Amino acid sequence: MSEKKKYHIEYEIRSSPRILYSFISEANGLMQWFADSVTVRDHVYTFTWDDEQQKAKLLFTKENKVVRFKWVDDEPQCYFEMEIVQDELTNDVALAITDYATEDAIPERKLIWDNQIDYLISVLGA
């Protein structure tokens, strides 16, 4: 089995950090763009896509700034993180994604994120 590598992508999003944060941290917000269904219990988020469930533990969160999840069935060092980055000069807001995938899966994973974030932007009306 090949080792997973960390990769990083950034998307410009016209939204306030406060609004964006609710879409990346709350079940309600995540359901609008990330998964068909999201439930949370004891810091464990259950994401459902087409009747397939995946559980992720919330490892870290900082209000209006960042959420970091770990898929419960993934390798110990792997996580995925969504960080809200705001440029101090222009106030432009970006969503920075850090995720892990095997080398050959990275292009496909990036494409999935591209599609998800496009959907998020349309939901935000940004």
The model's pLDDT over 86-110, given as tens digits with 9 standing for 90+, comes to 999 999 999 999 999 999 999 999 9
In DSSP terms, 69 is beta-bridged to 58, 80
Torsion 113-114-119-123 (CA) sign = positive
Q: What is the C-alpha separation between 21 and 23, in angstroms, rounded?
A: 5
- For position 41, which CATH number holds? 3.30.530.20
Across the chain, mean pLDDT equals: 95
Instruction: Kindly report the backbone phi and psi dihedral angles of residue 66, in degrees, each rounded to the nearest multiple of 5, phi listed first.
Output: -155, 145
Q: Are 14 and 93 in contact (CB under 8 A)?
A: yes
pLDDT over 70 (residue 1):
no
pTM: 0.93
What's the total number of domains in the chain? 1
Task: Give the domain range for residue 50.
Answer: 4-124
